[in-house]
Chain A
Amino acid sequence: MLGIVEQGLILGLMSIGVFISFRIVNMADLTVDGTFALGGALCVRLFSLGLNAPVSLLLSLLAGAGAGILTGFLHRKLKINVLLAGILVMTMLYSINLRIMNGPNLPIPKTSVSASLGTFEQVAGKDPLADLFEPSAPAAAPQKEIAKHRTFENIFLGTADGQDLLLLSAIVLICVALTGLFLRTELGTALRGFGTNPSGLESFGLPKTLMTLLGLGLANAFVSLSGGIFALYSGFADVTMGQGMIVTGLAVVMLGEILFVRRKLVYGIFAPILGGIVYQGILAVVMRYGYRIGFRASDMKLLTALFIVAVIGFGLIQTKKRMKGKFRLSTIFGGGVGRD
């Protein structure tokens, strides 16, 4: 059960990145898939090279920021459409990640990697509800070995189960607090302004390029950090671990917004965290009972994408009914994608 919250926090951290690019700077940045894996790959590689976990995480965070900055650069300086720029960098990162790991995946030393590597859902969905339903199961239940190698504990803390949660919550809270503080500064306010009116900001002497680099760098830093944490948490990095992460992240952001439309806590960056936990809960339930209708872990992406379509469709119907739209559709796709 704790696993859900833990993985939800990791997912939420990643979704803050998606939130920043899609909602705050208003750009459909697809680099995310690549940066999540980059964070994981680099973190595990650095860790196995002997660096300690915090430093490895910090360096992979910086690498992620670099990837975001590259996307921004391609978009602003070479005038490549944001979507394409993101896909280009994501594709580059695929090769780079393989190089970093020297193979399609890389386990953390001294942890045995079982057969089931793969995307976030396939790993994180490994029945974290088991401890709730099978309390009689031995402490080191087999599913835990796959979903979680307890590397985290070994690295940071002692042994008890709640400590992972504590540590993850602390990391997430610090991230949220720092971002919240940043968004209060002059630069952060300008970044938020940039999202709704990039040219308007230019007339106050702030170049679009700078703000784009800042926004996408920040967003991908979060994604990469989350990828690194996830890799340490699950005990390995895999080149496919970021696959479809952008869709998952967007679904989490929307889920968070549905749950917290009224209050914009910390400029809204709190919503993805709660969205992440809820998403993870849904994932766990689907994984546990879905097999009865022939559901597989790999179907989760389909479900997630359909969820996004449904949310957008529902929002459209709402606006058509002249009700006050809950979701700012224009910022998801209407205005976000095509706009420069």
Chain B
Amino acid sequence: MIKLSDVSVVYRKGEENEKCALKNATLQISQGDFVIIVGPNGAGKSTLMKVLLCELAPTVGTYYLNGKSMRGFSVTQVARWVGRVFQDPNSGIFPDLSILENLSIASKKGVRWLRFRSCPQKAVSLLSLLGLGLEKNLNTRAGDLSGGQKQALAMIMAIISDPKVLLLDEHTASLDPKSSVKVMELTRQINEQFGITVVMITHNMPFAEQYGNRKWKIEEGEVYEYEYRPPVCLTRSENPFPLVGDQRRCAPKCV
């Protein structure tokens, strides 16, 4: 469902300090996959995320989502299929609004009009699934929650509008070990029970071991897969694609 064909990203192209952050990445992610991406700082992981979010158009190559080329699409357009949660707990929620208001914004995608806001029951029941007690105080200001609660809320918000893919960029990085485990379990549930494809960047090696059915490593902009298992959730998947290329390094040439 996600396909990158020969995608390269070059920052500051043509300038002296030109930086090739992603080199000829050819990747495929199929429905139901849980992809873990690891790699050192500055390797290009977030750059890959930005491409998937359409924040950044690939310098060369094409990004396909559901078989459609995403060239020229904006972040807001691609948001219909893609949810995201990033490292900063405040980036995924609206701190000044109550939990309920947060959920009501998230429960819909795209432009909205003058209907009075409502909060779908599904969102609240998902919230109670967490066991953090958030559903009891729906009028709490989201900014007053703890980091872990914020991240959990952000995850719920990212999935209640039913995206096809959930992109996570070090979403447990600012949490304490206990909260991160909770959030990771939620991530697994999202993947296994709802069949949402998850792409997750992490620096946490135990998590990288424990979770996910596909493991990718990025080094200096080159992506390769080092582990593959069939996805746990096959309910929504169409026959998972074979390996992208076991241990195959992309040709280290840059545009």
Residues of A within 8 A of B (CB): 182, 184-190, 192-193, 195-197, 199-207, 210
Expressed in whole angstroms, the Cα–Cα distance for A192 and B98 within the complex equals: 11
- Contact A192–B92 (Cβ < 8 Å): no
**Interface flag for B96 (CB, 8 Å):** yes
**Interface flag for B97 (CB, 8 Å):** yes
Task: Give residues 163-210 of B contacting A (CB, 8 Å).
Answer: none
Contacts of A186 in B (CB 8 A): 104-105, 108, 112-117
- Contact A196–B76 (Cβ < 8 Å): no
* Chain B CB within 10 Å, residue with most, of A185, A186, A210: A186
Cβ distance B230 to chain A, nearest Cβ, rounded Å: 30
**Interface flag for B75 (CB, 8 Å):** yes
**Interface flag for B101 (CB, 8 Å):** yes
Contacts of A201 in B (CB 8 A): 94, 105
* Chain B CB within 10 Å, residue with most, of A195, A202, A210: A202
Question: Of A185, A196, A206, which is within 8 A of B117 by CB?
Answer: A185
Expressed in whole angstroms, the Cα–Cα distance for A207 and B91 within the complex equals: 16
Closest to A209 in B: B76
- Contact B94–A193 (Cβ < 8 Å): yes
Contacts of A187 in B (CB 8 A): 112-114
Expressed in whole angstroms, the Cα–Cα distance for A208 and B92 within the complex equals: 15
- Contact B91–A192 (Cβ < 8 Å): no
Closest to B75 in A: A202
Knowing A189-B101, A203-B83, A203-B158 are in contact, say whether A197-B94 is a contact too (CB < 8 A): yes
Chain A to chain B contacts (Cβ below 8 Å), 15 pairs: A182-B114, A185-B113, A185-B114, A186-B104, A186-B113, A186-B114, A188-B117, A196-B97, A200-B93, A201-B94, A202-B75, A206-B110, A206-B112, A207-B74, A207-B76
- Contact A203–B112 (Cβ < 8 Å): no
Contacts of B83 in A (CB 8 A): 203
Knowing A186-B115, A186-B116, A189-B104 are in contact, say whether A205-B109 is a contact too (CB < 8 A): yes
Residues of B within 8 A of A (CB): 53, 74-77, 79-80, 82-84, 90-97, 101-102, 104-106, 108-117, 143, 158, 161
Expressed in whole angstroms, the Cα–Cα distance for A254 and B178 within the complex equals: 41
Closest to B158 in A: A203
Cβ distance B196 to chain A, nearest Cβ, rounded Å: 15
Contacts of B143 in A (CB 8 A): 196
Contacts of B53 in A (CB 8 A): 203
Knowing A189-B97, A205-B79, A207-B74 are in contact, say whether A200-B109 is a contact too (CB < 8 A): no
- Contact A189–B105 (Cβ < 8 Å): yes
Cβ distance B70 to chain A, nearest Cβ, rounded Å: 15
Question: Of A197, A206, A210, which is within 8 A of B90 by CB?
Answer: A197
Expressed in whole angstroms, the Cα–Cα distance for A207 and B102 within the complex equals: 17
